[in-house]
Chain A
């Protein structure tokens, strides 16, 4: 019997790691796992073995929906020339230090 490559049997998962308290979870990479417990443990073993994280999220890759690259023109280009959307046209009082 020919063994199937695991990619045909096991789903792909996307891994998100939070490096420190107060930071966001950031995409770290992807891996294969048979179930959600294995996915979290694989993520722990693959992506946090050098002390990179304090929290892990995993989601099956098929549950991620992405924007379409062929639509990137109408999606993203119109924002190019709208500098006034940046809050850089206000005069801030001198007392405000931390903005």
Chain B
């Protein structure tokens, strides 16, 4: 599989895994209205993942004579170390504060990424981003308002946001570390190096944190992690997630409804 296909699959994996995590809230949301809100976001992300998987499958089939893979093969039949999503998005839901902060971190990133990818030399990538950025802009607004509401809320909600920051902050650095497929994407004009998004990401996130009376995060902090989701080295959580998500296709290959 060529590097650019991996670049597209990386975008798809991020959206699918976070979408799946959010879908775990369906039926368990803190109140009915927020249950629907988080489920809507889950559906948006899974829809974006489908678009990227379809594009990747099409590209792989064109480049490989005889190959006939589909979006479903990519989503349901790859193993943990073939997944290229960030460590951030595979983190367990925890409480509502952690789910909100994870969404806020990711949407802040995804919004900046899609905004740059609108200029991609790869027309299909630009088209997917143009369609998706409206959804992402809403996810960013929604999660940012929740960060403020919880951070500047009650003593308990503030404490829970601090815990969420402690849990998730070690996963931030990976968003801006390049993988080999990103160098290729940047060189060909299809994509960008996310390092270029870093300064603006921290500025935007910290602005919300100040309003939310939460401590700001620093880009100076060195990444302590040995893991790199982008390169297929995941935390222990992703295997369990895939076991549940892929069960049906593994147990009943080719099943559909």
* Per-residue interface assignment for chain B, residues 113 to 155, with 1 indicating a CB less than 8 Å from any chain A CB and 0 otherwise: 0000000000000000000000000000110010001000000
Query: Residue A59 at the B interface, CB < 8 A?
Result: no
Does B33 lie within 8 Å of A46, measured CB to CB? yes
| Contact status B149-A38, CB under 8 Å | yes
Q: Interface range on chain B: under 10, 10 to 19, 20 to 34, or 35 or more?
A: 10 to 19
Nearest CB in chain A to that of B43: its residue: A49
Known: A34-B149, A35-B149, A49-B40. A41 touches B142 (CB 8 A): yes
In the complex, whether B226 has a CB less than 8 A from a CB of chain A is: no
If A38-B145, A38-B149, A41-B142 touch, whether A33 touches B33 (CB-CB below 8 Å) is yes
Q: Separation in Å of the A88 CB from the closest CB of chain B?
A: 46
A37 touches B33 (CB 8 A): no
Take A6-B31, A32-B31 as given contacts and tell me if A37 and B145 are in contact as well, using a CB distance cutoff of 8 Å.
Answer: yes
Total number of residue pairs linking A and B with CB closer than 8 Å: 30
Complex Cα distance A32/B30, Å?
12
Q: Sort chain A's interface into a size bin.
A: 10 to 19
Q: How far in angstroms is the closest Cβ of chain B from A39?
A: 9
Contact, CB under 8 Å: B33 / A32: yes
Contacts of A37 in B (CB 8 A): 145
Provide the residues of chain A in CB contact with B30, threshold 8 Å: 6
Chain A residue with minimal CB distance to B141? A41
Q: Give Cα A34–Cα B145 distance, bound, in whole angstroms.
A: 12
For the complex, what is the distance from the CA of A46 to the CA of B37, rounded to whole Å? 8
Asked whether B36 is an interface residue with its Cβ less than 8 Å from the other chain, the reply is yes
Q: Which residues of A contact B141 (CB under 8 A)?
A: 41
The residues of B with any CB-CB pair to A shorter than 8 Å are: 30-34, 36-37, 40, 141-142, 145, 149
Give the interface of A toward B (CB within 8 A): 6, 10, 31-35, 37-38, 41-42, 45-46, 49
Can you list 9 A-B contacts (CB < 8 A)? A32-B31, A32-B33, A33-B33, A42-B34, A42-B36, A45-B36, A46-B33, A46-B36, A49-B40
Given contacts A41-B145, A46-B33, 11 further A-B contacts (CB under 8 A): A6-B31, A31-B33, A32-B32, A34-B149, A37-B145, A38-B145, A41-B141, A41-B142, A42-B34, A45-B33, A46-B36
